[in-house]
Amino acid sequence: MNNFTTLLAKETKALFTSPIAYVLIAVFLLLMGYTFTAYLFISRTATLVQSVFQASMILLLIVPVITMRLFAEERRNGTLELLLTSPVREIEVVLAKYLASMAVIAVMLALTLAYPITLQIFGSPDWGPVYSGYLGLILLAGALVAIGLAISALTANQIVAATVSLGIFLLMWMLDSLGSLLPDPYDIFVVNLSLTAHFTPFATGALYLSDLGFFAILIMLGLLFSVRALARR
């Protein structure tokens, strides 16, 4: 086993042996289940679009809880010193924490596959928006976790990490409506930085390379800043 897989195993085990992951998954599924059922009975339409939007909003609130402890806790306990004075690279530590957090999200989303399966059994849903919706949720979660990880790497206080992450996520979500208030050409520039503008096409079944690129860049910047934050000692 190389350093990366050793670190990934440790991080995944730490997340799944703590109650945090299970509480978050339970809360996520409870809220999603309510939305899915309520919308299905009201609209009587075999679609997941509303549920995908609902999932994206819940992710904005849940991801800071997952990422706040990743580095902040290690920094506060001093174990970061133990880790970084071992023969490991910063990028290995960052990627292990990132992928372990994404595993929690993956479990959450995998459990919601019951909804499209239910729709398929009792109706005939359009699978295009379902596929693109899940891809969008994974990309959105990937970007949020990367940003949350970078913020956690900058502080030893978990509450600070969570609050700052949540603030940034909400701001990036609201940039869509805030940007449209600005004069031309600033409005387009600001709106294009918003999570909503790039997530909505995925939720409604449209795939654009620019949206894929936007989330890919956010993920890379988040991971890069995390590595830089660790390396700047």
Partner 1 sequence: MPSVIVADQLTKHYGNRVAVDSVSFEVGKGEVLGLLGPNGSGKSTILRMLTGYLHPTSGRARIAGFDVTEQGLEARRRIGYVPEDVPLYPGMRVDEFLEFMGRLKGLDGRALGDAVARVCDQLSLERVRNLGIGKLSRGYRQRVAIAQALLNSPDLLILDEPTNGLDPRQIIEVRELIRALASLHTILVTSHILSEIERVATRVAILLDGQLLTIQALDNGGRERILARIRGGSADRIAATLVAVAGVRNVSSAKDAGEASYDFTVEIDDPSVAERVAADIVGAGFGLLSMARTRTDLEDLFLELTGKARQ
Which residues of this chain interact with partner 1, rule CB under 8 A?
Answer: 1, 3, 6-7, 10, 14, 17-18, 77-79, 81-89, 233
DSSP symbols for 101-145: HHHHHHHHHHHTTHHHHHHHHHS---HHHHHHHHHHHHHHHHHHH
Nearer to partner 1, 44 or 232 (CB): 232
Nearer to partner 1, 84 or 193 (CB): 84
Alpha helices in the chain (DSSP H): 3-17, 19-43, 49-77, 79-84, 90-111, 114-122, 127-152, 158-179, 186-191, 195-204, 209-231
Nearer to partner 1, 44 or 233 (CB): 233
Task: Report in angstroms how near the CB of residue 12 gets to partner 1 at its nearest.
Answer: 13
Nearer to partner 1, 85 or 124 (CB): 85
Task: Report in angstroms how near the CB of residue 93 gets to partner 1 at its nearest.
Answer: 10
Chain Cα centroid distance, residue 32:
16
Task: Report in angstroms how near the CB of residue 156 gets to partner 1 at its nearest.
Answer: 12
Q: Could you tell me which residues come within 8 angstroms of residue 73 by beta carbon, excluding any fewer than 6 positions away?
A: 158
Task: Report in angstroms how near the CB of residue 145 gets to partner 1 at its nearest.
Answer: 21
Task: Report in angstroms how near the CB of residue 178 gets to partner 1 at its nearest.
Answer: 36
Nearer to partner 1, 40 or 80 (CB): 80
